[in-house]
Chains A and B, each alone.
Chain A
Amino acid sequence: MLDLVAVSKHYHGVPAVRSLNLRIKAGQVLGVLGANGSGKSTTVKMIVGLLRPSRGVVSWHGADIHDQLLSYQHLVGYVPEEPRLYGYLTAVEYLELVGGLRDIPKATLDRRIGRYLELFGLQHDLYVPLSSFSKGMRQKILLSAALLHDPAILVLDEPNSGLDVASSLILRSLVANLASRGKVIIYSSHVLDAVEKACDDVVILHKSHVVAFNSVTKLRDLTISGTLEEAFASVAVDQNVTQVAQDLAEVAVG
Chain B
Amino acid sequence: MTAPAVLQEWRQFRILARDSVRKLLNSSMLARDADPMQFALWATTLVATPPALYAFGQLFKYSTLRSAPAQVIEQVITADRMFFVVYSLIAAALLASMTWDALYPDRDEQELIGALPVRPRTATAARLCAAVGVATGFALAINFPSALVFALVSVSHPVAGVLPVVLVAHLVATTTGCVTAFAVLLAVRGVVALVFGSAVTDRFATVLQLVTIVAVVEVFFYLPSILPRLVQLTMTGEGVALWLPSTWFGALYSGLAGPRHAVYLGEAVLGVIVLAGTLIALVPLYLLPSRLMARRALESQPGGGRRVWYTTVVRPTLSLMSGTAPGLSVAMFALTSLVRSRRHMLVVVSYVGIGVAFALVQVIAAGLRGGLQLETPGRALLAAPLAMMFFTVIGLRAAFRIPREIEANWPFRLYSPGVIEAASGTHAALCVAGIAPILALVLIGTQAAGWSVVATAEVTVFNLLAGLFLLECGLYGWSLIPFACVRPEGHEAMQTRWLAASGPCIFFVFGGASLQLAGLRSARFAAALCVAVLALTVVVRSARRARARREAIPFEPAGRLELLNLSEAGQ
Residues of A within 8 A of B (CB): 8, 10-13, 48-50, 54-55, 70, 73-74, 76, 78, 80, 82, 84-90, 92-93, 96-106, 127-129, 131-132, 145
Are A50 and B414 in contact (CB-based, < 8 A)? yes
Contacts of A98 in B (CB 8 A): 411, 415
Q: List 8 A-B contacts (CB under 8 A).
A: A76-B414, A78-B414, A80-B410, A86-B405, A89-B336, A90-B305, A103-B325, A128-B301
Q: Distance (Å) between the CB of B495 and the closest chain A CB?
A: 29
Q: Which of B302, B306, B329, B410 contacts A129 (CB 8 A)?
A: B302
Contacts of A88 in B (CB 8 A): 302, 336-337, 340-341, 405
Are A104 and B325 in contact (CB-based, < 8 A)? yes
Are B332 and A93 in contact (CB-based, < 8 A)? yes
Q: Distance (Å) between the CB of A145 and the closest chain B CB?
A: 7
One digit per residue, 1 when the CB lies within 8 angstroms of any chain A CB and 0 when it does not, for chain B 1-16 equals: 0000000000000000
- 19 new A-B pairs (CB below 8 Å) besides A50-B414, A87-B405? A12-B563, A54-B568, A55-B571, A73-B414, A73-B415, A84-B407, A85-B408, A86-B333, A86-B337, A86-B405, A101-B412, A102-B415, A103-B325, A104-B325, A105-B325, A127-B307, A128-B304, A129-B305, A129-B340
Number of interface residues of B (CB under 8 A): 36
Complex Cα gap A145–B414 (Å) = 12
Are B412 and A93 in contact (CB-based, < 8 A)? no
What's the count of A-B pairs with C-beta under 8 Å? 103
Q: Which of B304, B328, B333, B411 contacts A127 (CB 8 A)?
A: B304
Q: Distance (Å) between the CB of B106 and the closest chain A CB?
A: 11
Contacts of B511 in A (CB 8 A): none
Complex Cα gap A73–B410 (Å) = 12
Contacts of B302 in A (CB 8 A): 87-88, 129, 131-132
One digit per residue, 1 when the CB lies within 8 angstroms of any chain A CB and 0 when it does not, for chain B 319-337 equals: 0000011101100110011
> Does residue B413 face the partner (Cβ distance < 8 Å to A)?
yes
Chain B minimum-CB-distance residue to A70: B416
Contacts of B307 in A (CB 8 A): 92, 127
Given contacts A84-B408, A90-B304, A100-B325, contact A13 B571 (CB under 8 A): yes
Residues in B312-361 with C-beta less than 8 Å from chain A: 324-326, 328-329, 332-333, 336-337, 340-341
Given contacts A50-B410, A50-B414, contact A97 B332 (CB under 8 A): yes
Q: Which of B336, B414, B570 contacts A48 (CB 8 A)?
A: B414
Contacts of B563 in A (CB 8 A): 12
Are A100 and B567 in contact (CB-based, < 8 A)? no
| Residue of B304, B324, B341, B408 ringed by the most chain A CB atoms within 10 A | B304
Q: Distance (Å) between the CB of B427 and the closest chain A CB?
A: 16
Complex Cα gap A220–B341 (Å) = 52
Are B306 and A86 in contact (CB-based, < 8 A)? no
| Residue of A8, A74, A86 ringed by the most chain B CB atoms within 10 A | A86
| Residue of B301, B325, B416 ringed by the most chain A CB atoms within 10 A | B325
Complex Cα gap A128–B300 (Å) = 12
Contacts of B306 in A (CB 8 A): 127
Given contacts A70-B416, A131-B302, contact A103 B568 (CB under 8 A): no
Given contacts A84-B410, A87-B405, contact A96 B332 (CB under 8 A): yes
Are A100 and B416 in contact (CB-based, < 8 A)? no
Chain B minimum-CB-distance residue to A100: B329
Q: Which 7 A-B pairs have the closest CB atoms?
A: A100-B329, A101-B415, A88-B340, A127-B304, A84-B408, A12-B567, A84-B407
> Does residue B417 face the partner (Cβ distance < 8 Å to A)?
yes
Contacts of A54 in B (CB 8 A): 568, 571
Are A97 and B411 in contact (CB-based, < 8 A)? yes
Complex Cα gap A132–B298 (Å) = 11
Residues in B543-571 with C-beta less than 8 Å from chain A: 563-564, 567-568, 570-571
| Residue of A10, A74, A101, A129 ringed by the most chain B CB atoms within 10 A | A101
Are B325 and A106 in contact (CB-based, < 8 A)? yes
Residues in B273-320 with C-beta less than 8 Å from chain A: 301-307
Are B305 and A93 in contact (CB-based, < 8 A)? yes
Contacts of B414 in A (CB 8 A): 48-50, 73, 76, 78
Complex Cα gap A10–B328 (Å) = 37
Are B411 and A101 in contact (CB-based, < 8 A)? yes
Complex Cα gap A80–B414 (Å) = 11
Contacts of A97 in B (CB 8 A): 329, 332-333, 411
Q: Distance (Å) between the CB of A58 and the closest chain B CB?
A: 15
Contacts of A80 in B (CB 8 A): 410
Complex Cα gap A145–B302 (Å) = 22
Complex Cα gap A104–B301 (Å) = 31
Chain A minimum-CB-distance residue to B300: A132
Q: Distance (Å) between the CB of B411 and the closest chain A CB?
A: 5
Are B301 and A132 in contact (CB-based, < 8 A)? yes
Q: Distance (Å) between the CB of B418 and the closest chain A CB?
A: 9
Complex Cα gap A89–B336 (Å) = 7
Q: Distance (Å) between the CB of B481 and the closest chain A CB?
A: 10
Are B301 and A100 in contact (CB-based, < 8 A)? no
Contacts of B326 in A (CB 8 A): 100-101, 103
Contacts of B570 in A (CB 8 A): 13
Complex Cα gap A74–B328 (Å) = 18
Complex Cα gap A218–B56 (Å) = 85
Chain B minimum-CB-distance residue to A88: B340
Contacts of B417 in A (CB 8 A): 101
Residues in B135-179 with C-beta less than 8 Å from chain A: none
Given contacts A10-B567, A88-B336, A106-B325, contact A129 B412 (CB under 8 A): no
Contacts of A84 in B (CB 8 A): 405, 407-408, 410
Chain A minimum-CB-distance residue to B107: A131
One digit per residue, 1 when the CB lies within 8 angstroms of any chain A CB and 0 when it does not, for chain B 401-430 equals: 000110110111111110000000000000
Chain B minimum-CB-distance residue to A11: B567
Contacts of B333 in A (CB 8 A): 86, 89, 97
Q: Distance (Å) between the CB of B504 and the closest chain A CB?
A: 33
Complex Cα gap A199–B407 (Å) = 29
Chain A minimum-CB-distance residue to B329: A100
Q: Distance (Å) between the CB of B338 and the closest chain A CB?
A: 10
Contacts of B305 in A (CB 8 A): 90, 92-93, 127, 129
Given contacts A88-B340, A103-B324, A104-B325, contact A13 B567 (CB under 8 A): yes
